[in-house]
Amino acid sequence: MERIKIAIVDDHKLVSKAIENMISFNPKFEVVMNCFNGEDFLNQLEHKKNMPEVVLMDINMPRKNGIETTAELTQKYPELKVIALTMEDNESTIISMLKAGAKGYLLKDMSPDILFDAINIVHEKGIFYTDIVTQSLLKIKTEEKAIQEISALLKDREIEFIKLACSELTYKEIAEKMCVSPRTVDGYRDSIFAKLNVKTRVGIVLFAIKHEMC
């Protein structure tokens, strides 16, 4: 039986060694790499002949963290399947890791059986959902749907106004830049306030930054 080849990327040497020892007792798995940060892992991959199939990736690491490393792996080695294995359980980190391309997300206090199941399922089916991942994926889909709905409501000139609102220009200067009257700009502003459910220019700017519009 051919064993699943696994890489461990974790800057805590005692933890990574303990994970390696635990996995090595399972006859289905073989640890072929154990690296202490993302940069070292990516460098070693370039010269690796016995390539891993599943990567257990920590998140908080020096030089190149797990999110950055996973995003680069997704671009360069899309066939590698990354499972986040971390103590980080905050929602924003989970979402960032999933968006970077992780196929699973596990906390380090899980049982060995869950880890083994996750490796097998990710290797065979491509993705492993726990409750924490499912909730985060639902949030991603909800946010993306909301963004699409808001974007569909915004007119081209309103989007142009939002981008200019992120600058230091006054409303009068924005009107001159858009070649319209100050009253027309006031109309754009009020319309955007209503559509974005904000009450100030700061609210517009925060929306634009969050959705990479400026």
Sheet with strand 54-57: strands edge to edge? 29-35, 4-9, 54-57, 81-86, 104-107
Q: Tell me: pLDDT of 130 over 60.
A: yes
Residue 137 has pLDDT above 60, yes or no: no
- Reading the block at residue 30, the tokens are 């073989």
Note the pLDDT of residue 199: 87
Residue keyed to tokens 């963290």 = 65
What is the pTM (predicted TM-score) of this model? 0.64
Position 30 confidence tier, pLDDT thresholds 50, 70, 90: very high
What value does the mean pLDDT take over residues 134-146? 60
Token readout for 141 is 């889909």
User: What's the chain's average pLDDT?
Assistant: 87
Q: What is the pLDDT of residues 34-50, one digit of tens each?
A: 999 999 999 999 988 88
Q: Measured between alpha carbons, how far apart are the two ends of the chain, in Å?
A: 53
- Per-residue model confidence (pLDDT) at position 45: 94
Q: Which two tokens stand for residue 52?
A: 């891993």
Query: Residue 132: its pLDDT value, please?
Result: 60
CB 45 within 8 A of CB 77: yes
Residue 147 clears pLDDT 70, i.e. is over it: no
pLDDT digits (tens, 9 = 90+) for 46-88: 988 889 999 999 999 998 999 999 999 999 999 999 999 988 8
- Per-residue pLDDT of 177-189, as tens digits, reads 999 999 999 999 9
CB 163 within 8 A of CB 173: no
- Greatest C-alpha distance within the chain: 75
Query: Residue type for 155, please?
Result: K
pLDDT at position 200: 87
Residue 194 parent element (H or E):
helix 182-196
Highest mean pLDDT among 86-95, 161-170, 203-212 belongs to: 161-170
User: Residue 181 half-sphere exposure, CB side, CA atoms within 13 Å?
Assistant: 3
212 and 147 Cβ atoms separated by less than 8 Å: no
Residue 9 has pLDDT above 80, yes or no: yes
Quote the radius of gyration of the chain (alpha carbons, Å): 23
126 pLDDT band, cuts 50/70/90, is: confident
